[in-house]
């Protein structure tokens, strides 16, 4: 088990460990979900800033839906970190950070107290757009091309959870992932100068994570 964990690239590994630890803490009644969700009132008026982080690590109680989201997030986040962001940890963290800020801003508009599954769909969507010709076999049964993967997973999430609310969470994650992909793979290609804080991590973050 330890060897398997250490083979996962560092950003995905940290996200996975924190997510599992958070759900286990709730399951063991160490903390309650009401202490973890995000709202502007709780985070700022009640001065509970940790909610801006914990909302991204709680995937719900241990269940089939929990396993579904955690498995696919870990799989495609790992592949994205090992391919597009190989030796570029700061840029991957920057993508997730900017995506998190977008989701926090969207949270009150769509009444999303927990943003973990939405953020998990960002690397899934990014990977699918950067590997458009790659065939994907869902559970070894359904064969689709990579660009259709996010929508297929949204549909599966809807079926597993039994509620359209899960689909909304995941679709918003896809929308934020589309913005991230567009800025990096479309807009950045057309820019004069080729550098922007929206597509590349600042030098201070690169130094902090040892990328320069």
pLDDT of 127 reads 94
The whole-angstrom separation of Cα 170 and Cα 119 is 8
Q: 8-22, 65-79, 126-140: which range is least confident on average?
A: 126-140
Name the nearest CA neighbour of 56 among 12, 127, 113, 8: 113
Residue 50 pLDDT grade (very low, low, confident, very high; cuts 50, 70, 90): very high
In eight-state DSSP terms, residue 48 is -
> What are 45's two structure tokens?
């008026």
pLDDT of 23 reads 92
The CATH number that applies at residue 129 is 1.20.1540.10
Domain coverage including residue 23: 2-209
pLDDT of 140 reads 65
CA dihedral 152, 155, 159, 161 (to 10 degrees): 110
Q: Is the pLDDT of residue 194 over 80?
A: no
The total domain count for the chain is: 1
Using a pLDDT cut of 70, give the percent of the chain over it.
93
The whole-angstrom separation of Cα 14 and Cα 143 is 31
User: Using only C-alpha atoms, what is the Rg of the chain?
Assistant: 17
CA dihedral 51, 56, 60, 65 (to 10 degrees): 170
Which residue's entry shows tokens 């508009």? 109
pLDDT of 191 reads 65
Report whether 180 contacts 98 (CB < 8 A): yes
């Amino acid at each position: 088990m330890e060897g398997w964990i250490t083979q996962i690239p560092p950003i995905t590994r940290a996200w996975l460990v924190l997510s599992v630890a958070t759900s286990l803490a709730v399951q063991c009644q160490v903390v309650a979900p009401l202490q973890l969700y995000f709202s502007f009132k709780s985070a700022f008026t009640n001065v509970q800033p940790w909610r801006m982080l914990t909302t991204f690590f709680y995937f719900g109680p241990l269940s089939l839906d929990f396993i579904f989201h955690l498995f696919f997030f870990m799989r495609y986040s790992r592949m994205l970190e090992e391919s597009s962001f190989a030796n570029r940890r700061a840029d991957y963290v920057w993508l997730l950070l900017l995506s998190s800020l977008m989701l926090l801003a969207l949270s009150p508009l769509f009444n999303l107290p927990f943003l973990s599954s939405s953020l998990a769909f960002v690397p899934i969507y990014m990977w699918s757009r950067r590997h458009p010709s790659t065939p994907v076999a869902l559970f070894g049964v359904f064969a689709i091309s990579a660009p259709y993967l996010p929508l297929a997973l949204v549909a599966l999430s809807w079926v597993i959870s039994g509620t359209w609310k899960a689909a909304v969470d995941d679709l918003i994650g896809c929308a934020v992932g589309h913005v991230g992909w567009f800025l990096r793979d479309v807009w950045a290609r057309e820019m004069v100068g080729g550098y922007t804080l929206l597509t590349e991590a600042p030098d201070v973050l690169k130094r902090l994570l040892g990328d320069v």
